[in-house]
Amino acid sequence: MICVSLGRTRHSAMRQGHQQLAEQKAELVELRVDWLRKRPDIGSLLKDRPTPVVVTCRRPEDKGLWKGDEEQRRAVLREAIIAGAEYVDIEIDIAQSIPRYGKTKRIISYHNFDETPIELYDIYHKLAQGDPDIIKIVTMANAPSDNVRVLEMLRAADVPTVAFCMGEFGTISRILCGQRGAPFTYAGFSSEREMAPGQLTYAETRNLYRFNKITPQTKIFGVIGDPIAHSLSPLLHNTAFRKTGFDGVYLPLRIPADFLAETLDEFEKLDISGYSVTIPHKEEVLDFANVPDLQVDLIGAANTLFKRDGAWQATNTDFDAISETIANALSLDTNTKPQLTGKRVLILGAGGVARAAVAAMQQCGAVVVVTNRSKDRAKTLAQELDCLQIAWANRGSEMCDILINCTSVGMHPKVDESPYEQHWLRESMLVFDTVYTPENTMLLKHARQRDCTTATGLEMFVRQAARQFNLFTGLEAPVEYMMETLRRYLSAAR
Ligand code: NAP
């Protein structure tokens, strides 16, 4: 079950929001009465309420907005109990002064906005002394592993307990707490009014992560990187899980560079089945995988970790995604490598994606030429992957059949830029831009105007995720559906 926190400054807006949430099938709503500008009229808020409620009146030291004095606040909580609220949130230090009455259930709570303390079990036992129906422990995660400690404590709890972490590191425990026995998690009504740091919205919790469908059997996956908040991978993978009926959940897992080894070790306790890997971990993550992989050896970086027979294996699905995208643009079978013998491919850029493109095109038999703004980087890449290299200034005079942009030029917000002049493009060329925000980059617009064949970064992005999906689940990915979902999302976000 998801408890949706609702804070409004006026009673009428609070009632209206509550009604809206009921229409959106919310099963439990937390009325944050400390948000109200006037003294809470509990009777009017609870009369004919459309869903069960938790009444919470948070004081300023717990990041609440209550402006009255402490005695008035406790009076509001007692009133809510007398009025028959389903739950009342009572902080542990006032538990003795708010007596149990009627059917109202007591949520005895502890919040820590600074850290996840070492003594979590002591805190749990102290809360258990406060006559709880439900214990609530919410702490700030300062490292991803804080989530693991909270979830471990939750698994051991014998009183029904809601426990998770706040902050950007905390998403994983907000979503997985149900799997470890929490009777519900908390979510926000909308992203504009965040009640607690890192809180997810009701829509995200219910529709994207499908909190209510997660069981102890649900397999856990995620994308690791930093930053990660805007990653589109959770959307793609969770959509594919839902479409195929696979029992899995896929989470954004922010892991700063210095925390990688420690976090992956700790996350073993959560029984995670697979990771997508993004910047800055694509190289360091190889230390964690114990099975060699051809693609990874060629590129020197991985974008996927998956488990086979209990061992972590690394691979790079960008490699196959690039070949598949080219094959599709040339109307060839995407299940076999396109034969590009005798073709000349010019690759712009020398970063991680360029490395994957060079290796993939070489495997298809093409002659690969690389060019990069910083010459030294191109030189190193050309030496390591044994391809040709030309100066960045000369890229327009290179006669190529396929042009692949692996630089970030043209990416949002600088959408009017292109790494290649329009008059350098020829009709016979295939132009592939790996940039996918926006999908129709300036380079691709120019290429279409010159009647070139084109391929998009959005297709590559979906295909690399589809390959991961296949490794994670053993199922065929719904590629077209994933593509449609991503296009719809990106056009709505514009
Ligand atoms: P990276 O390692 O940071 O490399 C960035 C590349 O862009 C470098 O070659 C850099 O040249 C070049 N560059 C940046 N600004 C430039 C400018 N103003 N003029 C010329 N060159 C410039 O990044 P990456 O991981 O390889 O990713 C590169 C791009 O690929 C991303 O921006 C993204 O749009 C795209 N991408 C697509 C997918 C997909 O699935 N479709 C996945 C990941 C990334 P210097 O070496 O001179 O700095």
Residue 325 lies inside a defined structural domain of this protein: no
Distance 406 CA to ligand 1 centre (A): 5
- Distance of alpha carbon 348 from alpha carbon 212, whole angstroms: 46
Ligand 1, atom 7, lies closest to the CA of: 407
Catalytic residue among 18, 237, 282, 446: 282
- Check pLDDT > 70 for residue 372: yes
Got the DSSP string for 437-472? SSSS-HHHHHHHHTT-EEEEHHHHHHHHHHHHHHHH
Residue 270 and residue 149 share a domain:
no
The verdict on residue 224 lying in a domain is no
- 17 and 163 in one domain? yes
| Ligand 1 center to 351 CA (angstroms) | 6
Instruction: Please indicate, yes or no, whether residues 148 and 110 belong to a single structural domain of this protein.
Output: yes
Q: How far is the CA of 72 from the centre of ligand 1 (A)?
A: 58
25 with 155, same domain: the answer is: yes
- The per-residue pLDDT for 252 is 96
**Residue 192: pLDDT above 70?**
no
Question: pLDDT class for 17, splitting at 50, 70, 90?
Answer: very high
**Is 410's C-beta closer than 6 angstroms to any atom of ligand 1?**
no
Atom 33 of ligand 1, nearest CA residue: 435
Chain segment 233-286, per-residue pLDDT in tens:
999 999 999 999 999 999 999 999 999 999 999 999 999 999 999 989 999 999
CB of residue 274 inside a 6 A radius of ligand 1: no
AA identity, residue 387? C
Pocket of ligand 1, candidates 408, 420, 435: which has the most ligand atoms within 8 Å of its Cβ, to mutate? Answer: 408
Residue 180 and residue 216: Cα distance in Å, rounded? 7
Catalytic residue among 34, 146, 318, 433: 318
| Confidence category of residue 368, pLDDT binned at 50, 70, 90 | very high
Sheet holding 161-166, edge to edge: 161-166, 134-140, 105-112, 87-91, 53-56, 28-32, 2-6, 185-188
Let me know if residue 93 belongs to a domain: yes
User: Pocket of ligand 1, candidates 276, 320, 346, 407: which has the most ligand atoms within 8 Å of its Cβ, to mutate?
Assistant: 407
| Same structural domain, 140 and 272 | no
Q: Quick check: 194 pLDDT over 90?
A: no
Question: In which band, very low, low, confident or very high, does the pLDDT at 298 lie, cut at 50, 70 and 90?
Answer: confident
Query: What is the domain count for the chain?
Result: 3
Q: What is the CATH number of the domain that holds 384?
A: 3.40.50.720
The protein residue whose alpha carbon is closest to atom 31 in ligand 1 is: 408
Q: What is the pLDDT of residue 366?
A: 98
- Residue 349 Cα to ligand 1 midpoint, Å, equals 6
Q: What is the CATH number of the domain that holds 58?
A: 3.20.20.70
- Domain assignment present for residue 326? The answer is no
Between the CA of 380 and the centroid of ligand 1 the distance, in Å, is: 16
423 is catalytic: no
Tell whether the model's pLDDT for residue 423 goes beyond 90. Answer: yes
Q: Residue 177 above 80 pLDDT?
A: yes
Question: Which of 161, 188, 216 is the last residue in one of the domains?
Answer: 216
CA terminus-to-terminus distance, the chain: 32
Residues 94-132: pLDDT tens digits? 999 999 999 999 999 999 999 999 999 999 999 999 999
Instruction: Tell me whether residue 246 is exposed, middle or buried, using C-beta atoms within 10 angstroms of its C-beta: 0 to 12, 13 to 18, 19 or more.
Output: middle
Q: Is residue 328 part of a domain?
A: no
- CA separation for the pair 318, 437 (Å, rounded): 17
The yes-or-no answer on residue 375 being catalytic is no
**Average pLDDT, integer, range 53-78:** 96
Same domain, yes or no: 301 and 353? no
CATH code at 247? 3.40.50.10860
CB 190 within 8 A of CB 198: no
Structural domain of 179: 2-216
Instruction: Tell me the CA–centroid distance for residue 254 and ligand 1, in Å.
Output: 21
Structural domain ending residue among the three candidates 184, 216, 248: 216
Distance (Å, whole) CA 441 – CA 447: 10
How much of the chain exceeds pLDDT 90, in percent? Answer: 91
The residue from 154, 184, 216 where one domain ends is 216
Is the CB of 141 within 6 Å of ligand 1?
no
Q: Output the pLDDT for position 32.
A: 97
Query: Is 89 within 8 Å of 55 (Cβ atoms)?
Result: yes
For residues 46 and 167, membership in a common domain is answered with: yes
Q: Is the separation of the CB atoms in 288 and 312 below 8 Å?
A: yes
Out of 34, 89, 111, 343, pick the active-site residue.
111
Q: Is the C-beta atom of 199 inside 6 A of ligand 1?
A: no
Given a cut of 70, whether residue 191 has pLDDT beyond it is: no
Query: What's the average model confidence in pLDDT over 352-376?
Result: 96
Q: Is the pLDDT of residue 299 over 90?
A: no
Give the ligand 1 atom nearest the CA of 407.
Answer: 7
Would you say residue 222 lies in a domain? no
The pLDDT value recorded for residue 468 is 98
Residues 418 and 456 placed together within one structural domain of the fold:
yes
Q: What is the overall mean pLDDT for the chain?
A: 95
Centre of ligand 1 from the C-alpha of residue 482, in Å: 24
Verify whether ligand 1 is closer than 6 Å to residue 377 (CB atom).
Answer: yes
Residue 293's nearest CA partner among 306, 280, 277, 310 is 306
What CA–CA distances, in Å, run from 176 to 27, 186, 217? Answer: 19, 12, 12
Which atom, in ligand 1's list, is nearest to the CA of 374?
47
Q: Could you tell me how many residues make up the chain?
A: 494
- Is-catalytic flag, 309? no
> How many CB atoms sit inside 10 A of residue 242's CB?
17
Q: What is the mean pLDDT of residues 316-326?
A: 95
Known catalytic residue: 136? yes
**306 plus 427 within the same structural domain:** no
Residue 492: predicted pLDDT: 86
Mean pLDDT across the stretch 61-65?
Answer: 94
SS3 state of residue 353: helix
DSSP readout, 68-86? S-HHHHHHHHHHHHHTT-S
Any atom of ligand 1 within 6 Å of the Cβ of 42: no
Same domain, 473 and 454: no
The answer to whether the CB of 183 is under 6 A from ligand 1 is: no
Ligand 1 neighbourhood includes 347 CB (under 6 angstroms):
no
Q: How do residues 196-235 score in pLDDT, each as one tens digit?
A: 778 899 999 999 999 999 999 999 999 999 999 889 999 9
In a domain, 135, yes or no: yes
Are both 285 and 346 inside the same structural domain?
no
Q: Which atom, in ligand 1's list, is nearest to the CA of 351?
A: 2
Share of the chain above pLDDT 70, in %: 99
Please report whether residue 324 resides in a domain. no
380 lines ligand 1 (CB under 6 A): no
Mean pLDDT of 394-420: 96
Same domain membership, residue 253 and residue 142: no
